[in-house]
Amino acid sequence: MTHVLETAAHPRALRRVAIEPLTRVEGHGKVTILLDDQNRVHQARLHIVEFRGFEKFIQGRPYWEVPVLVQRLCGICPVSHHLAAGKAMDMIAGVRQLTPTAEKLRRLMHTGQMLQSHALHFFHLASPDLLFGFDSDPDRRNIIGVVREHPDLAIRGVTLRKFGQEVIRHVAGKRIHGVACIPGGMNKALTIEERDELRKQTPQIIRWCQDAVRTCRDLLEQCEHAPIFGVFPSNFLSLIRKDGALDFYDGGLRARDAQGGTIFDHVDYTRYNRYIHEEVKSWSYMKFPFIINLGDEDGWYRVGPLARLNNCDFVDTVFAEHERQIFREAANGGMQHATLAYHWARMIEMLHAAETIERLLDDADITGTDLVVHGERQSEGVGVIEAPRGTLFHHYKVDENDMVVRANLIVSTTNNNQAMNEAVRNVCASYLDGNKLTEGLLNHIEVAVRAFDPCLSCATHALGRMPLRVELVDAEGQVIDCMVKESDGTCVSQTP
């Protein structure tokens, strides 16, 4: 697992191509590729060009405010941060076991988030590439192309996403900025009316999710690139339930190698920093986590839907388990290593989320009112959940005045940092090497990154920001071509 193409031997003699920012990727990412005169790829890197300072934002705040505060770190997965911080604050509050109602409400909210996030990604960000082809006309290869040519698919995507958000809204009281999760439990009960409102929709939602798995599987079968595109071996990391089942909310840490062998299993996640370290590289603001006993060269791993379905022994809902078995059989029972298999795994998880929502709504505990327990105050807390994009770590230390004095967050996209770089290099080596650069070829790189559904966001979205900038730089470092796409879609050449 050495990082071929991470660093060129003689970078000064090479041309540099930058794709900035990546489209259909949240936040500020940039890919740079160094090419020689024959367009041979010598170096490819995915950079994160924005420094986020999450930890500084949290330090100095009272610990009970943190679950609410961290929702503002990211506009894409606020519920994930809310729940990870909530679990950490349970520890700070000295609570080891929530009431059944509180835990089930948290799980309900979390599966709602999983469903809406996966629906958005597949139907609106990924499906244009799969439906129309990686190098099809970019005017067609977008969500509007999907709406125009596959209206039922697009409308289902919107409706599924809306349902997931309604689940969140009913549990939290609001779709964003909710105060659902508090140290030791939940702040609000689910009423019978709210439960019934959601429950009547679940049969349709489950059917649509089943259709989505089939659609995704069919698209991948028809995709000429699927068997070879971004296929590379890696380790996988995820939470796992005690009995080996897929679990988004809780469990121990399981790491498996590329052949499916166990690296560690059922590790208490509060001890994560004895198993995982983060490496800093000079060319990116995002750290590179790795499994300590494998070292930084070989210890990197993938997280998210692909890792979860590779790692789990089974899924505890009927339809999703059936689909998981098909998924694993397609890899002859071994580990799936194709980057595009992320999409397939994501749709199976969406189906599991829908089935889980129905099961939770049928559980009598879900409308209970015993919501909070108390314990003996501690000074340190760790919360880990499986966010839509992968394993999310929140770790806090609190002083005697209840103020957070230290915070460490390893977000899902950071966990996938090295893997995304590997995917970029793999695609560059397979598709770009020696070829003339075209928009379609550059989109291949974006397709590889998008499969991870990276979220590099800090949720700042003022109008008039985030232009797309592509630069071509010669061997002397001079910009010889530059194209800027403004946020309104107009393209302007800024060639010197």
Partner 1 sequence: MTARILVLGCGNPSRGDDALGPALVARTRDWLAQHPGREVRLVEDFQLQVEHALDVLDADLTLFVDADASCNAPFCLRRAMPERDASYTTHELSPEAVLHAARVVTGRDPPPAYVLGVRGERFELGEPLSPAASGHLEAAWDELMELLDDPRPSAWDARAAGW
Q: Which is nearer to partner 1, 99 or 113 (CB)?
A: 113
Determine, following the binding rule CB under 8 A, whether residue 143 of this chain makes contact with partner 1.
Answer: yes
Q: Which of 271, 487, 492, 494 binds partner 1 (CB under 8 A)?
A: 487
Tell me if 72 contacts partner 1 by CB under 8 A.
yes
**Window 442-481: residues binding partner 1 (CB under 8 A):** 455, 457-466, 468
- Asked if 157 is part of the footprint of partner 1 (rule: CB under 8 A), the reply reads yes
What φ, ψ does residue 441 adopt, rounded to 5°? -65, -40
Which one, 144 or 326, has the nearer CB to partner 1?
144
Nearer to partner 1, 131 or 263 (CB): 131
Torsion on CA atoms 436, 21, 471, 132, rounded to nearest 10: 30
Nearest 5°: phi and psi at 319? -70, -40
Out of 4, 13, 155, 228, the only residue in the binding site for partner 1 (CB under 8 A) is 155
Binding track, positions 7-26, relative to partner 1; x by CB under 8 A? ----------------xxxx
Q: What tokens appear for 54 in the block?
A: 């999450």
Q: Which segment (72-80, 180-188, 249-257, 355-363) binds partner 1 by CB under 8 A? A: 72-80
Nearer to partner 1, 23 or 273 (CB): 23
| Token digits of residue 195 | 């439960």
Query: Does position 67 bind partner 1 by CB under 8 A?
Result: no
152 forms part of the interface with partner 1 (CB under 8 A): no
Closest CA to 160 of 391, 318, 388, 347: 347
Over the window 36 to 65, marking each residue x when it contacts partner 1 by CB under 8 A and - when it does not, the resulting string is: ----------------xxx-xx--------
Angstrom distance (rounded) from CA 447 to CA 452: 9
Q: Which residue of 46, 92, 115, 125 would you call a contact of partner 1, by CB under 8 A?
A: 125
CA dihedral 356, 359, 364, 369 (to 10 degrees): 20
- Candidates 255-263, 355-363, 388-396, 486-494 — which segment interacts with partner 1 by CB under 8 A? 486-494
Instruction: Please report, as residue ranges, which positions from 273 to 332 form the binding site for partner 1 (by CB under 8 A).
Output: none
Size of the site for partner 1 (CB under 8 A): 51
Q: How far apart are CA 241 and CA 313, in angstroms?
A: 10
Q: How far apart are the first and last CA of the chain?
A: 41
Shortest distance, CB of residue 206 to partner 1, whole angstroms? Answer: 20
Q: Which residues contact 238 (CB under 8 A, 6 or more apart)?
A: 253, 254, 303, 307, 308, 311, 312, 386, 390, 391
DSSP one-letter code for 63: G
Name which of 86 and 299 has its Cβ closer to partner 1: 86
142 binds partner 1 (CB under 8 A): yes
Cis, bond preceding 67 (omega within 30 deg of 0): no
3-state secondary structure of 136: coil
User: Does residue 96 bind partner 1 (CB under 8 A)?
Assistant: no
Among candidates 226, 220, 118, 125, which has minimal Cα distance to 165? 118
Taking the C-alpha atoms of residue 174 and residue 189, their distance in angstroms, rounded to an integer, is 13
Among 62, 97, 162, 334, binds partner 1 (CB under 8 A): 162
The alpha carbon of 481 is separated from its chain's Cα centroid by a whole number of angstroms, namely 33
| Site residues, partner 1 (CB under 8 A) | 23-26, 52-54, 56-57, 69, 72-73, 75-76, 78, 120, 124-125, 142-144, 147-148, 151, 154-155, 157-158, 161-162, 165, 175-177, 455, 457-466, 468, 485-489
